[in-house]
Homo-oligomer: A and B are copies of this chain.
Amino acid sequence: MKFLTEEKLTIVGAAGMIGSNMAQTALMMHLTPNICLYDPFAPALEGVAEELFHCGFEGANITFTSDIAEALTDAKYIVSSGGAARKAGMTREDLLKGNAAIAEQLGKDIKTYCPDVKHVVVIFNPADITGLVTLIWSGLKPSQVTTLAALDSTRLRSELAKYFHISPDEVCNSRTYGGHGEQMAVFASTTTVAGKPLTELIGTEMPVADWEALRQRVIQGGKNIIDLRGRSSFQSPAYISIEMIAAAMGGEAFRWPAGVYVDTPEFHNIMMAMETSITKEGASYKFVEGTAEEHAALKNSYEHLCKLRDEVISLGVLPPIEEWSKINPNL
């Protein structure tokens, strides 16, 4: 059995629905034999480990522990879904306080136990904020921490495919940028649908009202899963976040936006979805201008994230921005 790397991948929150799926996904993708499952809930964690043992994977070295020191020591890659779950009726923002504190601890634990980690993917909500908090407290470089932001773009792809009755593969470069919450900026100008620019279709083959309704379906995509399935999405966030870590290991290129630490004259001291490349060298982003309207939506999304960030600062989980570089000299 050939693996992409031999380096240790630690899955934080592995007892949960997302974490356990991530572990299975990583094993199926043959990323590394050395997978460590961490969760504070020891019995459920053992249950997940048992399930994976019972799959009979060849060449796998699956370990599990509720000791964070053991979990993170020697870890070169980390994916964390280890926050509180979003429940029906909750917004992502409701989760802010508890999960920001969890992210702070994750960052500090990374600094203590695995300062040489290569890449960390943070996916617990609101991921833009938990990723930022993790980055600051971990002391890592901005290129080393990314957050799950792709689901909005894949939802856009899926909704366009359904609307036009075509294969999702015929929808190219569907993109949302900015926050992963309800203030996300859904871009149309980057997308082609069966070879045609989406911007040309809106207002012609697709009435503007239909586009607005579709945008709303994208924004409500996560809530829709909860309504339909009675539980938060877990398969898609697990699968996509493992695609991200695979790219960071030098595997297949990651095809979607990721949340990255952004510092441009216009958008600064924030983590949000950008056009991103994830490679062995880490994550890098480029700015996509979009139409004036899209740019304004991105600006709104950014400002919403700034408010969340400032709330976290006022909660004391993060120090004021001007002190960040004292905690993390890479910022």
Contacts and interface: CB of A to CB of B under 8 A. Distances in A.
Nearest to A24: B235
A236 interface: yes
Contacts of A158: 50, 53-54
How many copies altogether?
2
A56 interface: yes
B54 A221 contact: yes
A25 interface: yes
Interface stretch (A83-91, A225-233, A296-304): A225-233
Contacts of A169: 58-59
Contacts of A151: 54
A25 B56 CA distance: 15
A101 interface: no
Interface string A1-37: 0000000000000010000110011001100000000
Q: How many A residues are at the interface, by size bracket?
A: 35 or more
A47 interface: yes
Contact of A235 (B20, B157, B224): B20
A59 to B, nearest CB: 6
B28 A236 contact: no
Given A28-B28, A47-B229, A229-B47, A155 B54 contact: yes
A55 B235 contact: yes
Given A46-B228, A167-B61, A236 B150 contact: no
Interface in A131-158: 150-151, 154-155, 157-158
Nearest to A158: B53
A46 B235 CA distance: 14
B239 A154 contact: no
A240 interface: yes
A225 to B, nearest CB: 5
Interface of A: 15, 20-21, 24-25, 28-29, 43-44, 46-48, 50-56, 58-61, 150-151, 154-155, 157-158, 161, 167-169, 221, 224-225, 227-230, 233-236, 239-240, 255-256
